[in-house]
Amino acid sequence: MHQNINNIHSLRIYVSPENEENANSYRLSLTALLTFEGEKIQEEISNNIDLMLSQLDQFDEIECIQLDNFDTASFVYPEHLVLPLTMTLSEFTFANAYIMREFNFQYLCYEQSF
């Protein structure tokens, strides 16, 4: 049921522009910080994130900067932005955390019981 709950420590998101709720478009990146258990299936997790980003990229308003089709010439990358789809906790720094906000999905893990 919750076989993969211990594989991902957190998801880190970068969105540009950060403070505009009604921008014409947004540039997005997503990185999963893996636990030790998650490192064992890192390729599978990366493939799933790549698939998810490809689906998000289909929306006209969203450009996923980690995909091969992203126009890198039109974007200035922040200094501490990381682009791998997955990383270990030891690779991720405080400087990276300042640029890439944590996506809180703790409540998605709760089961509803009747």
Q: 20-75: per-residue pLDDT in tens?
A: 888 889 999 999 999 999 999 999 999 999 999 999 999 999 999 999 999 888 88
Distance CA 91, CA 73 (A): 27
Distance CA 9, CA 34 (A): 5
Predicted pLDDT at 107:
54
In Å, what is the CA distance from 44 to each residue of 13, 47, 49, 81, 95?
Answer: 19, 5, 9, 23, 27
Q: Residue 99's closest CA among 10, 18, 2?
A: 18
